[in-house]
């Protein structure tokens, strides 16, 4: 299947006049809250957003953002296939942290009607489903930004094991301020700042996406092993570069 160019995500290029210059070189020595503060308030003021799944570890990054600049746009991808508990968690965490600009991003209704009218695309092609419900909506939402912040960590395994603090996806700078944090550091932050846990964490979930493609983690494997079980797939596509926004 192919999207018409008119309905695909717009191309976006980092502004050549960006005061950050070569961001990956200039700020390579920063991480954590210091990196966040610099990216939000110095390198990309008004031109940076946070992407969050409001999953089991999301509260840590969102807490840091709330301390640095709570007005920073937070992009929450609601695919229409999320656990109800994730949507509830988004609302409660947003309120507790005082996040002032959470934007709920969803797939294009016309695309759903044309390509996935019965919400069963995930059964035949998970890549297409993720592209329709995640990649294209986020790409559209990021059209007015030069950079975005993620909560990915190296310990999550697979393609994330050598994750840099700053990278470029072909269209935007991507900032990964807690890339080197350990599971224990995350746990300590939850305790130190009284952060609420995702309701499904108690049931044993360590990584949450859409409910049709999320299972409990595989015993003895990494935290994301419950995602797309028995498939040759470890990422939904939003972190793959370069994005191919004109096809599904």
Is 236 among the residues known to form the active site? Answer: yes
pLDDT tens profile 39-95: 999 999 999 999 999 999 999 999 999 999 999 999 999 999 999 999 999 999 999
Q: Other C-beta atoms within 10 Å of 199: how many?
A: 16
- Residue by residue, DSSP assigns 61-85 as HHHHHHHH-TTS-EEEE--S-B-HH
Average pLDDT, the chain: 86
pLDDT tens profile 143-194: 999 999 999 888 876 666 678 899 888 889 999 999 999 999 999 999 999 9
Whether omega before 242 lies within 30 degrees of 0, making that bond cis, reads: yes
> Sign of dihedral through CA atoms 167, 162, 86, 10?
positive
- Residue by residue, DSSP assigns 141-178 as HGGG-SEEE----GGG-GGGTT--SEEE-SSSEEE-TT
Res. 23: pLDDT tops 90? no
Q: For residues 102-122, give the mean pLDDT.
A: 96
Between CA 110 and CA 115, with CA 111 as vertex, the angle to 5 degrees is 125
Q: 2: pLDDT confidence band, cut at 50, 70 and 90?
A: very low
Q: In the chain, what are the domains? A: 5-213 (3.40.50.620)
* Spatial contact of 238 and 138, defined as CB atoms under 8 Å apart: yes
Give 197's DSSP letter. P
Query: How far, in Å, CA of 47 to CA of 2, rounded?
Result: 31
Query: How far, in Å, CA of 28 to CA of 90, rounded?
Result: 31
Give 21's DSSP letter. S
Q: Considering the entire predicted model, what is its pTM?
A: 0.86
pLDDT tens profile 9-21: 444 434 434 444 4
Higher pLDDT, 195 or 233: 195
Percent over 90 (pLDDT), the chain: 66
């Amino acid at each position: 299947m192919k999207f018409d160019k008119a309905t695909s995500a717009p191309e976006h290029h980092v502004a050549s006049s960006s005061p950050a210059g070569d961001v990956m070189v200039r700020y390579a020595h920063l991480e954590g809250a210091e990196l966040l503060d610099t990216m939000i308030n110095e390198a990309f003021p008004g031109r940076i957003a946070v992407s969050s799944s409001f999953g089991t570890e999301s509260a840590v990054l969102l807490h840091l953002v709330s301390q640095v600049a709570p007005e920073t746009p937070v992009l929450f991808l609601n695919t229409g296939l999320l656990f109800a508990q994730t949507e509830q968690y988004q609302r409660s965490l947003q309120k507790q942290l005082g996040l002032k600009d959470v934007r709920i991003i969803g797939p294009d209704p016309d695309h759903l009607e044309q390509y996935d009218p019965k919400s069963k695309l995930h059964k035949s092609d998970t890549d297409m489903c993720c592209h329709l419900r995640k990649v294209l909506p986020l790409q559209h939402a990021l059209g007015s930004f030069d950079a975005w912040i993620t909560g990915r960590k190296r310990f999550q395994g697979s393609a994330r094991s050598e994750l840099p603090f700053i990278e470029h996806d072909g269209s935007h700078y991507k900032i990964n301020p807690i890339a080197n944090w350990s599971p224990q550091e995350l746990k300590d932050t939850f305790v130190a700042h009284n952060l609420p846990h995702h309701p499904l964490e108690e049931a044993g979930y360590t990584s949450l996406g859409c409910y049709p493609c999320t299972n409990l983690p595989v015993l003895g494997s990494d935290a994301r092993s419950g995602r797309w079980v028995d498939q040759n797939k470890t990422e939904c596509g939003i972190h793959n570069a370069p994005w191919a926004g004109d096809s599904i």
